[in-house]
Structure formats: structure tokens, C-alpha cells
Amino acid sequence: MTRRRPVVSIGLPTFNHAEFLPGALDTVLGQSFGDFELNVSDNASTDDTWEILQKYAGVDSRIRLIRQRTNIGMIPNWNTVRDMSCGEFFMWVGDDDLYDLDYVLILLETLRNVPSAILAYSYVRLFGPVLRREYLIPSQEFLGEIGRLPGLPRQPHCVYVRRLLLLRGAGIPIMGLFRSDALPRTPLPEFRVLDTLFMPIMALRGTFVFVPKVLLQKYVPGVEDIVDRRRDPIPSSPRDERTWRRRLRHLRRSAACLSTFLPELIRSPLLTLREKVEVLPTAIWAYLPAQVRRHLSLTFNGPVVSRWE
């Protein structure tokens, strides 16, 4: 039987989040725009996540499930749901986030009204036990820097790429709606924050459209939750051996990220040669291991690092 192509493919990577998963599923499946598929990859959860997913899949035919036999890591799990998609548009959703019921509809209409854009995203309200006040992202500072606030001159596209590389108040555009044909189909390498690698690459491929509405509420877990859900447990090896192995792994990840980003930077039709040269030091800085960046910051005492940023 031929698989019908939906307008929108939604990917939900999940791991051990049975407490919040029903809320996320309810707001996704209750969208006012209904022509979508929901592809879910359970990353070998040990709680009730899989049972909850089976229950929802039994009553909604738009859900397609896959269960990993072992934990494959966060980014490979995100790659999995992307590879399962076949819609004209694609979006990732979080297993602990809450969505406005017009989320897909508003972003879809925005993209269709701006044919040159490859992504539409909105304000995100953060909530959770570690926050003392309400946060909205993207921040006003970030929107001002890139010239997206009324009365401010619009900044060159390279400024936006550099801000995304540094993740300074950029928000969470990775949770927006993409044109599927603009997405890279090769597996993304492991990195400490997926947004730092993926979003600058997308910004080199096309422009983004920002919707100034709060359409997504994102859960920010407590410290205990982060420890409980850690996807890369520390191996039980001697401390010295563990340290050099970890450093070597970080260096390999940094090299993989640079080797993924640089060809995209060279091929980008949105930047001039001069702008590409300006972006390059920022990319190198962003993808260095955190310990190396801290060491350089202390060594140069700020001025050189500030210029790179």
C-alpha cells in the first residue's frame, strides 16, 4: 500500500518522559491543522513512555512509532524522526512542551506567504522549576541586534548567522516549521547543543521568518531531571583515562562539526565572500571544546575573543 504524503511531518524524539509526554501529545494531536503525520522514536525508555505511545497510536492513525533497542543518543534519535518524514514541511516537537492549537496552522501560512523562507518560528515561553520568572525567547536584545524590531535597521544576514553560532538569546528556532527540501539528509554529528550546529547551517541555506506570537511553551527541567535523563553516562574507568578519553571525544566532535559547517559556509548563496570570511572565526570559536574556549578567554583576557564573537 502506497504511503500518502501529508502536508506536514512532525517528528517527536523521546526518552524517559512519561510524566509530560501525554500533555505534549494532546497539544500536537489537537492541532487545528490536521493534515500531518506524527513520527515518534522512543530511545529505549525505561519508564512508561512506550506504553503511553502505544495507547495514543491505537486511537490515532497519524502516529507512526519506532522503538530503539538500545539508547542511540540524543542527536541520532532526532535524526531518526527526520528520516522517517515524507511531508512537504517538517518540524520537531519536544516530549515535554506545550503547543498552541494553531501552532502548525500559523507557521504553515507564514511559510506559504513567504516563498523565499525555509523556516518559520515564534516566541517561546519557558517554564519549569528552575525559573524564578517568566522568560520569552528570542530575547529583545537578540531581535534588536539582528534588526527585527520596529524602527531598527535590518542587519546583514551574516550577523544572524553569527548570533546563531553563539546562541545568544536566539530562542529555539529549531522547534519551528521547515521546508523539507531544505533540510540536510545526512546524519548530523554529535554536539553538546544541536542548535549550535544545525541552525547556522539552515541559516546558510535560506532565510527565516519570525512570528511575534507566543505559540510554544517549553519545559526547562530541574538539575535532578537533567542528571536522571543523562544520555551519555560517565564510563566506569580510572579518572585519568576517563579525562583524556572525554577530551579526545570532544575534539573529534568539534572537528566533525567544523567539517560539516565549512562546506555549507563556502556554498552559501546568501553571503558574500567578505561575509563568509567574517563568519569563519566565529564558527571556529563556537565549535571549540568548552575547556579550550575557557583557556583562550583567560589567556587573551577578552579582546581577541570579543572580536571573534
Going by pLDDT thresholds of 50, 70 and 90, the confidence category of residue 184 is confident
What share of the chain in percent tops pLDDT 70? Answer: 76
Using a cut of 0.85, tell me whether the model's pTM lies above it: no
Pick the closest to residue 213 from 149, 123, 150 (CA basis). 123
Beta strands 8-14 and 36-42, pairing class: parallel
Domain boundaries of the chain, sorted by first residue: 1-96, 238-308
Placement of cell 542511540 in the chain: 72
Domain at 1-96, CATH class: alpha beta
d(CA 87, CA 7): 5
d(CA 20, CA 17): 6
User: DSSP label at 61?
Assistant: T
What share of the chain in percent tops pLDDT 90? Answer: 47
Pick the closest to residue 271 from 285, 261, 286, 259 (CA basis). 261
Residue 236 has pLDDT above 60, yes or no: no
Residue 277 has pLDDT above 70, yes or no: yes
What local confidence, expressed as pLDDT, does residue 172 receive? 72
Of 135-139, 193-197, 234-238, 271-275, where does mean pLDDT reach its minimum?
Answer: 234-238
Of 9-23, 42-56, 193-207, 254-268, where does mean pLDDT reach its minimum?
Answer: 193-207
Residue 298 has pLDDT above 70, yes or no: no
- Cβ atoms of 111 and 202 within 8 Å: the answer is no
More confident residue, 98 or 127: 98
d(CA 176, CA 119): 7
d(CA 80, CA 64): 12
d(CA 50, CA 15): 9
What local confidence, expressed as pLDDT, does residue 152 receive? 62
